Chains A and B, each alone.
Chain A
C-alpha cells in the first residue's frame, strides 16, 4: 500500500537559505518539486535561486576521492570523523570550503608524490622482471652471441591471443632481411609470448619500420645489461629489484602512516562535500523573493511532525512548514511512497520491472506478495528443491548484504520457498518421485483426488484455471476500486460488466458440461446479458472484444500446471537415469547434475512465468503505472 502524502511549502528568510536547505537535507524526508518552473533568475516577485558555486565543491570532492583511493584503508579507518562534518556544517559554505582546501594542500602534494614514485618503482619492477625472463631465454645461446658481430637482436612481445600474428610477421622479416634472420619464440609469462629475433644490422631500419607499422611491442635490453655476461646482468637486475622492493616497502609504510592520520578526517570531508553537492544540485528548484526563501515538495503525512520539529529546533519561528491543499493535477503527479508490511516489502523489487504505481492507484505489491509465492510454489512444488532454494537465497542474501535489489530478490525466493515446500508435501515430491519411491512421502488425497502431478493432470489443470479465474477477478475488482477512486463511471461499468460476463460464461460452461445444475445456465445467461451492455457502454467495441482476451488470460494460467509437470518429469527422469546406472557413485553423480540443472531451471522459469502472470494477465486488468517514485532529498546510501 502507499503512504498518504502531503504537499508542503517551506518558507523562511532568504539570508538563511543555505542552512534551511541543509536542514531539509539532514531531515531527508522531503521529495522536492520545482517551485517556479517558469521563473528565471534575476529580479521579479518570485524567481529561481541563481546557480550556486558547485564547481568548487566538485573539484574538492574529486581531490578528496582521489586521496582516499591512494591512501590504503586500515581497520576502522573508513568511519567518517563526525567532528569534521559537524565543524564544517556549522560554518558558511565559502569558509568551510576554504578550510577543506587548506587542509588538503600539503597532504595532496606529499600523497601524490609518494604514490607516483611507488607507481614508477612498480613499473620498473615489472620491466626488470621481463628483462630477466628474456635473458634466461638467451642463456642457452650465450656462447654463440659473440659470433653475431654485425647482427642486431630485438625481442617482440605479443599477447597470447594474438600469437598467430607471429606467423605473418616472421616470414615477412625473413623476406626483408633476405633470410639473414633467426628467432627463438617462447612463453614469457601467462599472457605474453616473446620472439627473440636476431638479424643483420644492415636491414635494421627496414625491420624496425616494419615492426612499427605492425604495432608490435618491441623490447630492447638496455645497453647496461646487454654488454655484460648474462649471469652478471641477471644478478645486477636482481640487486636493483631488491632496492626497488625496499623502497616500495618504505613508501607503503609512509602511506599507511598518512592514512591512519588522515583517512577518517577525509571521510568526514567527503561526506560533507557530497552533502553540499547534493544540496547545490537542487538549488534551482527553490525560489526566492528579495527577503524570502521558499521550497515546495511532498512529504509522507506521518513525517510532518518530525520535519516541523527539526526546523523549529534550528530556526525557531523564523521558518515555517505548512501543508498546502494539492490540486487534482498535482495529486495525480504526487510521488508514491510504499508503506508495505514486512512480508510484502521485498516484492517492491517488481517496480523495477513495471515502474511505480500512480499515487491514487491501488498498490499491486501486496497482491503480488500473496499470489507470487503461491504461483511459484505451485509450479516448483518439491520439498527438496524448496529447501535448496531457501538455502541458496539465504546464502545470496548473506553474501551480498549491500545490494538492495539482490537482498529483495533473495527474500522473494526465501518467501516463495515456503509454499514450494508446502505444495511439495501435498504432491508428495522430494527431488521428484524420490521421496515416494523411498516410501518417505505420498501424495495427499483431497476431494477424492490423489494430487500426484504425474497422474492427476486434469484435476491440476482445473485447479490452475480456477486460480486464474480468481486472480483475474481480483484484478478486475481492483480495477473497479481504481475507477471509483478516479470517479470514472465508464471504467466502473466496463470492469463490472467484464466481471459479470466472465462469471456468466464460466457458469454457463460448467452447466453445459454438467458440473453445475442445468438451471444455473439461465443465471449465466442473465449475467452475460447484464454485463455485455455495461461493457459496451464503458469500453465500447474494444471492451467487448476484450472478453476473448480475458478468457485467453484465464487459460494462460494453465502454465502453473504445465511447467510444473515438465519440472517433475525432469526430476523423475533424473532419478530414473541414476537408478538405471549400475554403480552408486556414477548414478549419484548423474542424479546430482540433473537435479542441479532442474533446480536452476526451476528457479528461473517459474520465476519468469509467475512474474509474467502478474505483469501481463493480472496487472492489465487495473494497473496504469507511470507514477513517480518517492525520492526524498537527503543522504541515502547507494543500493
Chain B
C-alpha cells in the first residue's frame, strides 16, 4: 500500500473528527444551559449533541473506502 493511502484516510477521518469535536464543543455548553433552564429538555439536548457525529461517521466511511477500495 502506497504511503498516500493511509495519510489520505487519516486526513478524511481526522478532519471529520475535528469538525465533530468543534460542533459538539458549541452544542455542549448550549445544551447544558438549556437543561439548567428546563431539565425536561435533557432528551432533546442529548439528541442535538449527537447530531454532528455524522461528520466523523462520514469521515470514517471515506477513510474505510480509501483503505479498502484503493
Question: Which residues of A are in contact with B by a Cβ distance under 8 Å?
Answer: 352-353, 457-458, 461, 552, 555-556, 558-559, 562-563, 608-609, 611-612, 615-616
Q: Known contacts A352-B43, A608-B47; decide if A558 and B53 are in contact (CB<8 Å).
A: no
Q: Min CB distance, B50 to chain A, in Å?
A: 5
B47, A555: Cβ atoms closer than 8 Å: no
By Cβ-Cβ distance, the 9 closest A-B pairs, closest first, are A353-B43, A612-B50, A559-B57, A558-B61, A556-B54, A562-B60, A608-B50, A558-B57, A562-B57
Contacts A/B (CB < 8 Å), 6 sampled: A461-B61, A552-B58, A556-B57, A609-B50, A609-B53, A616-B47
Query: Which residue in chain B gives the minimum CB-CB distance to A565?
Result: B60
Assembled-state Cα–Cα distance A556/B20 (Å): 14
* CB pair B57 A608 closer than 8 Å: no
Smallest Cβ distance from B63 to chain A, in angstroms?
10
Across the two chains, which residue of chain A brings its CB closest to B44?
A353
Chain B residues contacting A555 (CB-CB under 8 Å) are 54, 57-58, 61
Interface residues of B in 32-70 (CB under 8 A from A): 43-44, 46-47, 50-51, 53-54, 57-58, 60-61, 64, 68-69
- Residues in chain A near residue B61, CB distance under 8 A: 461, 555, 558, 562
**B interface, how many residues as a size bin?**
10 to 19
B44–A461 contact, CB under 8 A?
no
Residues of A within 8 A of B68 (CB): 457-458
Contact assessment for A458 and B47 in the assembled complex, using a CB-CB cutoff below 8 Å:
no
Q: Are A552 and B54 in contact (CB under 8 A)?
A: yes
Name the distance in Å between A13's Cβ and chain B's nearest Cβ: 42
Which residues of chain A are within 8 angstroms of B43 by Cβ–Cβ distance? 352-353
Which among A458, A461, A563, A612 has the highest number of chain B CB atoms within 10 Å?
A: A612
Which residues of chain A are within 8 angstroms of B64 by Cβ–Cβ distance? Answer: 457-458, 461
Interfacial chain B residues near A353, Cβ < 8 Å? 43-44, 47
Provided the pairs A457-B64, A458-B64, A616-B51 are in contact, do residues A558 and B44 lie with their beta carbons within 8 angstroms? no
Most chain A CB within a 10 A radius of its CB, from B51, B57, B58, B69? B57
In the complex, besides A353-B44, A615-B47, 19 extra interface pairs with C-beta distance below 8 angstroms are A457-B64, A461-B61, A552-B54, A552-B58, A555-B58, A556-B57, A558-B57, A558-B61, A559-B53, A559-B57, A562-B57, A562-B60, A563-B57, A608-B47, A609-B50, A612-B47, A612-B50, A612-B51, A616-B47
CB distance from A625 to the nearest CB of B (A): 12
A638 to B47, CA, bound (A): 27
